[in-house]
Structure 1
Amino acid sequence: MWFKNLQIYRLPAPWPVTADQLEVALAPQSFVATGSLEMQSMGWVAPRPHGKLVHVVDRQLLLLLGREKKLLPTTVINQVAKAKAVELEEQQGFKPGRKQMKELKEQVADELRPRAFSIYSSTFVWIDPVRGWLVVDAGSAAKAEDVLKLLIKAVDKLPLETLHVARSPRTAMTDWLAADDGPGGFTVDQDTELQATGDSKATVRYVRHTIDPDDVRRHIAAGKQCTRLAMTWADRVSFVLTESLAIKRVTPLDVLKESSDVSSKDEDERFDGDFALMTGELSKMIADLVEALGGEENALRAAAA
């Protein structure tokens, strides 16, 4: 298993909380399916069937947040409420007023809720207590924040911080494009996005297209900066870096796929092997990327002090 997206946060390194301590903290917020009158439910589930809430492989911790959400479109509520309003008008001799219609819609929602269709989704969280990384496999910061809110609620005084680097990713990516060369250990791939800094927000995108250095430099000279850049690390992992320091479209390359033990027939062994491989590689990749972006800002402030 490999994360597709990386929303990266910082913990103290090493983080002293043990897997057993974390298990106890998460247990009160275990996932419970939505009741008949509830619209959504969220809680921790075991990453492996019949396992613990905290899955451990080589001191790396894996959590899984489950969500169940009922779909009850407003259009359906309005349609049923409109039909009931016609019946009510015939009974009372006049059209329902605004207050009465509001109450009618609330009544319809209560009646339909137990029959609403549910969708289930889940989000993985990887904690590296040795190096102090906490990574959420989420495509957006907002989705990651939902996960972190529940984790902060479970773990008292969780010392979690947003990852801050010395160089702005936007500035660094723009410089790499202008130089037509990635930082040490990284290569620049074919996908990128440049956006104007002015009010126009004019945007140029290259999608699976060879990037012409001269063309890119003209866009940069015109005031555009890089907001997304596809890169490859050490010929092992490809990804897209964004201006917010989120990492998307994470893909292990063939060299890693070949090194994975595909001969094992045990699903749990394959899962643990993939997780160990992923965490080992991504820990190094994140560290190299932070270094390429000038190091951590908090660490630099601490050194200066």
Structure 2
Amino acid sequence: MWFKNLKIYRLCAPWTLFGEALETALSRHAYQTGNNLEMQSLGWVAPREGGPLAHVGNKQILLALRAEKKLLPATVVNQTARSRAQEIEEQQGYKPGRKQMKEIKERVTDELLPRAFSIYRDTHIWIDTANHWLVIDAAASAKADEAIGLLVKTLDPLPLENLFVATSPASAMTGWLAADEVPGNFTIDRDAELRASGESRATIRYVKHALEADEVRRHIQSGKQCTRLALTWADRVSFVLTESLDVKRVAPLDVIKENADAALQNDDEKFESDFMLMTGELAKLMAELVDLLGGEKRG
């Protein structure tokens, strides 16, 4: 149940919505099945099947947003609309104009939507009310924005702000590569991307490749900055840090997996244990990462 990507935000005020009040707020925007008349619909679902809309434990909250999108290819709409336009032309004696053609396409879309296939995507959101983090498991900014948009509609006011650090990740990562080490509990792994800032945007990528210090320094001296860097925290979690402060490809390492309670057979117990383990480890990782980048920068 580990998050694979971390879009990290700050709670700028104490979190006060728990229990029945939180569940009621989420239920107003719960995902509704069977809506055949919208291209896309969003709503909250239970993170754990059969459970509440908000999974809460030890001041940690887990939410799940479901997005349903209808697959209705434009070629199908256009072909059907052209056929419909020909029928109308025969009836009225002249081709439909631009406005009428737009109306035909809209009617065709409405008619075809109930027969369109649906695809579903769930996005998980973790709210750490103890340490004041809000984290979205999303690789793309558009998915994070989608989740925040529904959060804003659901929870008013939402005490959320962007996370800013004193040292830019690109500058810090470039310095770590130049020094061939990272301070604290972090170590450099075998993936990196260095990019020139000029018009050429020349880019060097290392993928599962040893980062030779002298070679990397030559790229840095030529004007390139590190925009992505694979790191390991405390020999416990590996991840990739980006220039925009996104944390990607998060993976717990063997030391965590070995310490997980293998005796837990009940699915509910395992879900709860995994959630507590993940939130505990990632909260520490994020705090140390922010400190490594010079601490938070307040606006």
Normalising by the residue count of structure 2, what TM-score does the alignment of the two structures yield?
0.95
* Whole-angstrom distance in 1 between the partners of 2:169 and 2:19: 33
* Whole-angstrom distance in 2 between the partners of 1:138 and 1:158: 19
* Whole-angstrom distance in 2 between the partners of 1:226 and 1:20: 46
Letter of the 2:280 partner, please give it: G
1:29 aligned counterpart, secondary structure: coil
Identity between Structure 1 and Structure 2 (%): 61
Q: What residue in structure 2 maps to residue 206 of structure 1?
A: 206
Runs of 4+ with deviation above 6 angstroms: none
* Whole-angstrom distance in 1 between the partners of 2:121 and 2:203: 33
Q: What residue in structure 1 maps to residue 288 of structure 2?
A: 288
Q: What residue in structure 1 maps to residue 118 of structure 2?
A: 118
- Residues 33 and 41 in structure 1, CA contact (< 8 A), matched pair in contact too: no
**Structure 2 residues not aligned, in runs of 5+:** none
Deviations 1:141-197 (CA, angstroms, capped at 9, x unpaired)? 221111111112221222111111110001000101111111210001111111111
Letter of the 2:201 partner, please give it: K
* Whole-angstrom distance in 2 between the partners of 1:147 and 1:19: 21
- Residues 9 and 163 in structure 2, CA contact (< 8 A), matched pair in contact too: yes
Q: What residue in structure 2 maps to residue 57 of structure 1?
A: 57
Letter of the 2:38 partner, please give it: E
Letter of the 1:83 partner, please give it: S
Q: What residue in structure 2 maps to residue 8 of structure 1?
A: 8
Segment of structure 1 superposing worse, 135-144 or 29-38: 29-38
Letter of the 2:223 partner, please give it: G
Q: What residue in structure 1 maps to residue 197 of structure 2?
A: 197
Distance 1:173 1:34, change over 3 A: farther
Distance 1:96 1:253, change over 3 A: same
Q: What residue in structure 2 maps to residue 167 of structure 1?
A: 167
**Structure 1 residues not aligned, in runs of 5+:** none
Say whether residues 1:233 and 2:233 are aligned partners: yes
CA RMSD of aligned residues (A): 1.5
1:3 aligned counterpart, secondary structure: coil
Letter of the 2:273 partner, please give it: G
1:297 aligned counterpart, secondary structure: coil
- Residues 14 and 132 in structure 1, CA contact (< 8 A), matched pair in contact too: yes
* Whole-angstrom distance in 1 between the partners of 2:278 and 2:27: 26
Deviations 1:77-118 (CA, angstroms, capped at 9, x unpaired)? 111112223333344443333233222211211111111111
The Cα of 1:14 is off from its aligned counterpart by: 4.8
Q: What residue in structure 1 maps to residue 108 of structure 2?
A: 108
Normalising by the residue count of structure 1, what TM-score does the alignment of the two structures yield?
0.94
* Whole-angstrom distance in 2 between the partners of 1:19 and 1:60: 12
Deviations 1:184-227 (CA, angstroms, capped at 9, x unpaired)? 10001111111111122111111111111111111111111011
* Whole-angstrom distance in 2 between the partners of 1:98 and 1:20: 52
